Structure 1
Amino acid sequence: MRNKFLIFFGLFLLTMYHGQTIRYIYQTSVNPDSINLVSLKSEKTFLDVRGNQSLFISENKLIKDSLWSANKGEEIKKEKKDISKSGIKKHPEPTFFDYYITKNIPEQKIYFYDRVLGKQIYYQEDRPVKWEITDVTELQNGYKAQKALTNFGGRIWTAWFTKDINVSDGPYKFSGLPGLIVKLEDDKGDYKFDLVKQMMIKNSFEEPIASDARQSTRVNFNGDKAALELEFSKNRRIAPGGDGGMQNFGSGGKHGGGMGGMRGGNHSGNGMSPRGMDGIDMSGPGSGMSSNSSFKNEISQNPIELK
């Protein structure tokens, strides 16, 4: 009887563990200018892990989508409360990571999600991250870590992973090492991720994928984004009054994104449910954000992937 109780209790704890989300918080430094000598800019990025699924999203992207995608005041108040419990700030700033990435960790499937003028667009990463694991070990960010190298996206990356955290994942698209990545940087010093904290959270980011979301490929992604912008511009000119183009860019859909609707995942999603940026002008009055076109120019000047 005692053995049966211990087995039942162990299964109960395992179920509870996989039902929780662990948030790994990285202090992320970015060099916005690859030509001129400028100071690094810093922001926080999150790696939320629940069971076999994970989500990479920046703090500012999470706040922006969570607070201003909802049109009802009560929903906004609730999401502000949820955010305050997650240990993050309440007001967004421009981000170098204005997208989010989901992973099916065991299957090494990676999906990249973006949004063009309210319409969702995504692709599945088609390049595996091939690691060269060395025998070098050091103490990194408080963890005994081992060094690994990879060439990905036109940059040579150095990762330090720890076997003390049994999660084969890391920031951005990087995963597949026998432990969590606690430090990651490229050889040019343009991008750097340092694990600074981990915490259990009740709610994780969820964003329903619209039925008209555009599925693309990595190679065609920028071209498809440009086509969506052109489509939006044409619809807006045709519509009466010049503002009816958003009728084809609504939200709602059949399958979920974020932690709940990842391809290959089985989660239905129980976290925050922002409906994205449909019809919301983030640079308008009361948004707390000015026009960030110059910031976007900085991102395009030194993107995280060079090819």
Structure 2
Amino acid sequence: MRKSLFLICLILSKILLCQELENSNIKCNYLTTFLIDTTDVSSKKEEMTGLWIGKNSSVFRSDQKAIYDSLAKESTKNSMSKPVNGKIVLDFSRIPRAYFIPEVFKVGDKMEVFDKILGVYYKYENDQKINWTIVDETKTISTYKCRKAIGKYRNKNITAWYTEEVPISEGPYTFKGLPGLVIEAYDDKDYFHFTLVKLKDLKQLIAPIRGEISTSYDKFLKKRSDFQNDPSGAYFVATGKQVPKDQVERVTKIHRRNNNHLD
């Protein structure tokens, strides 16, 4: 009886989820540049990110993640069909991985941020609304006449250039709420820089990551801080496996270099 009730609830939840989700009308591609390590300019990365916008919702994420997942599935399929000496060997080392991890899912006025720690995705509601100040300054970016706006997001000062030629109150990451689409955005240290490179009509389902753990921003921040301070200890707690003693220092240095976060 309990099993039947569980299956009914599961089916109903999936039906309700499908009813809530919608297709995008347009997709905006942003060239995103960012540092992995704020103390090392050579750690700069470039990645294409996408903003899918529908009537009442949007999602912002790395395009490379979708490419990686697709290629990884194909590689797994090939490996399973061609075992080596009776064993399935999985090797994803040649597949370019995504470095830009966070995603933002927005429905109406509610925004949720998804981010990853030690292979696990966490979700928290964004309670940090940016109070934009529009500045009397304009410039043309990719044929769009843009106006300048400045605001503060948590501990970062953000500059955004938006255009009223695309009257959609959207933008990359959580940089939304202006009277037009954000064409370019960056923080005052230029640790992150988003520039629109393409806008096209596209119908595609707007859906967030599934299988995540819901939390609050403060709890997520503490967990990330604890992990960066002691990655080997966090790995042991999560998996029950210990990092070899001669590798602890190296592992700690690697993860502490990953210190550039948008929040």
User: Under TM normalisation by the shorter chain, which class is it?
Assistant: 0.5 to 0.7
Give the 3 Å change call, closer, same or farther, for CA 123–66 of structure 1 in structure 2: farther
Q: Deviations over 1:173-195 (max 9, x none)?
A: 11000000001111112211110
Give the 3 Å change call, closer, same or farther, for CA 298–47 of structure 1 in structure 2: farther
1:42 aligns with 2:50: no
**Residue 38 of structure 1, CA deviation:** 3.6
Partner of 2:182: 181
Give the 3 Å change call, closer, same or farther, for CA 206–127 of structure 1 in structure 2: closer
1:25 aligns with 2:24: no
**Residue 139 of structure 1, CA deviation:** 0.9
Partner of 1:215: 214
Note if contact 1:216-1:224 (Cα within 8 Å) is conserved in structure 2: no
1:103 aligns with 2:62: no
Note if contact 1:141-1:183 (Cα within 8 Å) is conserved in structure 2: no
1:54 aligns with 2:58: yes
Show structure 2 runs of 5+ residues with no match.
Answer: 1-21, 79-93, 242-250
The one-letter amino acid paired with 1:50 is G
The one-letter amino acid paired with 2:134 is I
The one-letter amino acid paired with 2:190 is G
The within-5 A match list for 1:221-260 is 221-224=220-223, 233=236, 236-237=239-240
**Residue 138 of structure 1, CA deviation:** 1.5
Partner of 1:197: 198
In structure 1, C-alpha distance between the alignment counterparts of 2:223 and 2:69, rounded to whole Å: 22
Give the 3 Å change call, closer, same or farther, for CA 34–67 of structure 1 in structure 2: same
The one-letter amino acid paired with 1:57 is R
- What do you get for the CA RMSD once the two structures are aligned? 3.3
Quick one: percent identity of the two aligned structures? 28
Give the 3 Å change call, closer, same or farther, for CA 221–69 of structure 1 in structure 2: farther
Q: Deviations over 1:238-259 (max 9, x none)?
A: xxxx8xxxxxxxxxxxxxxxxx
**Residue 234 of structure 1, CA deviation:** 5.0
Note if contact 1:111-1:123 (Cα within 8 Å) is conserved in structure 2: yes
In structure 2, C-alpha distance between the alignment counterparts of 1:65 and 1:99, rounded to whole Å: 16
Note if contact 1:94-1:295 (Cα within 8 Å) is conserved in structure 2: no
The one-letter amino acid paired with 1:128 is K
In structure 2, C-alpha distance between the alignment counterparts of 1:140 and 1:66, rounded to whole Å: 33
**Residue 70 of structure 1, CA deviation:** 8.3
Give the 3 Å change call, closer, same or farther, for CA 137–193 of structure 1 in structure 2: same
Secondary structure of the residue aligned to 1:209 is coil
Q: Deviations over 1:51-76 (max 9, x none)?
A: 211111012222234443689749xx
Give the 3 Å change call, closer, same or farther, for CA 34–231 of structure 1 in structure 2: closer
TM-score (norm 1): 0.59
In structure 1, C-alpha distance between the alignment counterparts of 2:223 and 2:64, rounded to whole Å: 25
Partner of 1:303: 261
TM-score (norm 2): 0.68
Show structure 1 runs of 5+ residues with no match.
Answer: 1-17, 75-89, 243-291
Give the 3 Å change call, closer, same or farther, for CA 208–195 of structure 1 in structure 2: closer
Note if contact 1:157-1:184 (Cα within 8 Å) is conserved in structure 2: yes
Secondary structure of the residue aligned to 2:112 is strand
Secondary structure of the residue aligned to 1:170 is coil
The within-5 A match list for 1:275-286 is none
**Residue 196 of structure 1, CA deviation:** 0.6
Q: Please identify which structure carries the higher strand content.
A: 2
The one-letter amino acid paired with 1:99 is P
In structure 1, C-alpha distance between the alignment counterparts of 2:24 and 2:125, rounded to whole Å: 26
Secondary structure of the residue aligned to 1:220 is helix
**Residue 123 of structure 1, CA deviation:** 0.5
